Structure 1
Amino acid sequence: MSEIHIGISGWRYAPWRKQFYPEGLIQAKELAFASRAVSSIEINGSFYALQTPQRYAEWRDDTPDGFVFAVKAPRYITHVRRLKEIAEPLANFFASGPLQLGDKLGPILWQFPPSMTFDPQRFADFFERLPQDRHAATQCARQCSTRMNKDGAFHSHGNGPLRHAVEIRNESFRNAEFIDLLRKHGVALVVADTAGKWPYLEDLTADFLYLRLHGDAELYASGYTESALQRWAQRIRTWSRGQQPADAQLAGARKDAVKGAKDVYCYFDNDLKVRAPFDARDLLERLKLAGGLETVPGERWEI
């Protein structure tokens, strides 16, 4: 059976305090609270700077059994190096601690800037480099720079498959060749709702779906209406069954879609007006997935 994970991008935002987080909750307990109000969180601090194995271990231990993190890969690889000469930066990323999450490590998100166009050979080489399981990621980490060789850098906490997802922001990726390349390597194409600012595609290219909901009408700011959330709930149900909505916006051929039920990871990134955690919780409830959660947005909780 497929799994559905609904959550938020990041969790430490000052405006969320006294609204999503109940008054009096100390900052050190915010992850513990958030991870019991939604079923997954996208770590985005890793995009801006390499973290540490100790920090990832703390995040792992602060969250309940069955919880899943997605990890946003460093912009140094995607935006600065733009996939050129990335052997050591890739090793440094895996040595920085994401493998400390163990079974709580979900997909790794690779987001590319609007200025980056589709280069078939560059992306083919990149996908060939990506480790497909935690043991392979550990071997990759061993090629890190000396400064990254810290306690926990090479601990994989058991083995398991690694999933990778790509978020694109340039129209040049709207072509069948890119979709075929993703399918060849089992990499998911992120379904990114960006209020029309960047390309929106729904091609199925892996055994899972990765959704990023940045805002229904205004990027990073607007909440989702009841009708919009109901539409997303229906699409998620359809994808989880391994089917494609009849009105799906595709760059590749529908007949070539990856078959079988799909796990779904969905993250709300419309945090500017404190909508993300409430929209995520609403969607969980619409999908009847909130029953086992321990906390309620805005309500007191004792840990």
Structure 2
Amino acid sequence: MHQGNQTTISEFFLLGLTVGSEQQQIIFMLFLSMYLVTMVGNLLIILAIISDTHLHSPMYFFIANLSFIDICFTTTTVPKMLADIQSQSPTISFAGCLTQMYFFMLLVDLDNFLLAAMAYDRYVAICHPLHYAALLNPKHCALLVVTPWVISNLVSVLHLSLLIHLTFCDQRAIPHFFCDLEPILRLACSDTQINNLFILGIGGTVIFTPFIFILVSYTLIGSTVLRVPSTKGKWKTFSTCGSHLSAVSLFYGSIVGVYFLPSSAYSAERDKVAAIMYTIITPMMNPFIYSLRNKDMKRALRRMLSRKSFCWNW
């Protein structure tokens, strides 16, 4: 493309969700409600785990970290989207766009690694229960959380370092409600082949390596469960994994649908629907998934809420 059609971008326009003006307030109230439910639900999970000593175990340590990441994850995109719905000119600066993309990619990768750590926790608990305390001691648990932070930071920084060297055209409209990598690359005038290869190579490795680890873990768990003699014992053993499997299905189903289908199959509307799934619905559902199916968590929540209620009444 000619140099005259290229420019230094100072801001982008976020086109957001394709809805009529009469539907905007309904959409605003809907997503505001979902955001508040996500914040309150995940915060309650964290407080319940911190306050109840019976939940001071590796499994709940990972759940608390997942809830914290979900709070940060949904906060990266939803408040800006809600402000844009109310705005007549929804713009975001180039620096703001890069910042949002950095935290978005960081938190997606962290979610991914934490789901793998939780699968490892279930694998050790079911397949090697006698070695559970040794394999998942506090030092190892901390390592399983800190290492993903380092890797995810490096990947996010590398993505942005490749992005800032691109030249953008006069077109500044992003057909999305936040700054995502794929829509931004489609606005570039310069060659994005390296960026796309990096997404498929490094991005694919970061996403699919933990996913394969999860599949292997559950294959080994399944073979162990099948050796349990009683049907009731099999169900009780495998039911501890039900919540995690639900979260994994929600997360990977939407991620793969956005980032790893062929570029020719790209659709802005499909992309937005999938993004709503993993940026809003999945973080909102995780507190319900991990509390409604877990007796210890429900007991801790009731105990914590009853204490709060007593303090307020007093």
On whether the aligned pair clears a TM of 0.5, the verdict is no
Larger radius of gyration: 2
The structure showing larger relative contact order (alpha-carbon pairs under 8 Å, at least 6 residues apart) is 2
**Structure with a larger share of its residues in strand:** 1
- TM-score normalised by length of structure 1: 0.25
